[in-house]
Amino acid sequence: MEDVLMEYLTQIITNISENQSSILREGHLNYKLSPNEMRIIEIVGSSQKPKMMKDIAEIMSMTKGGMTFLIDKLEKKGIVRRKQNDFDRRVLHIELTEEGQRIYKEYNRSKYAVLYKWVEDMNDSTKKIMTEEFHKVLKMVE
């Protein structure tokens, strides 16, 4: 039974990754941004706390130099800005500009449209069970 569960989880992760890549590519075409630039917008936009470049670089498995290059490009396009930390002026946080927030919201609408299609045929009982179980899984992987 655990082997079947592991196979399902692997397939789900793969499918989600492929769908996310498709949505990122779509965003990349709509806004003339690279998939990596779209991913940065997603990371910064979805974060509950300010992100530093090194945080984003770690999430994306990139070097700090590569991240600096991408952040510079996004900053020139008016999508992100660097903001000094109020307590430590050596620390720079990356935040979305109004344009960046607009792109992030549109990206999320596209992503949610895909996700809603996945669950639209489920009954309320199944949705409730999945919500509870996914909440548990989310707590484990945080």
Q: Which of 28, 44, 140 is nearest to 83 (CA)?
A: 44
Weakest-pLDDT range from 15-29, 34-48, 100-114, 120-134: 15-29
How high is the pLDDT of residue 76? 97
CA distances from 99 to 41, 43, 44, 80, 85 (A): 11, 15, 13, 8, 22
Going by pLDDT thresholds of 50, 70 and 90, the confidence category of residue 25 is low
Segments making up each domain of the chain, as ranges: 2-141
122 versus 111: the higher-pLDDT residue is: 122
133 versus 18: the higher-pLDDT residue is: 133
Tokens encoding 70: 């991408």
- Find all residues with CB under 8 Å of 37, minimum gap 6, and list them: 28, 70, 73, 74, 79
How high is the pLDDT of residue 27? 59
How high is the pLDDT of residue 29? 59
CATH number (2.30.29.30, 1.10.3720.10, 1.20.210.10, 1.10.10.10) of 2-141 reads: 1.10.10.10
Alpha-carbon distance of 78 to 127, in angstroms, equals 39
Q: Count the residues in the chain.
A: 142
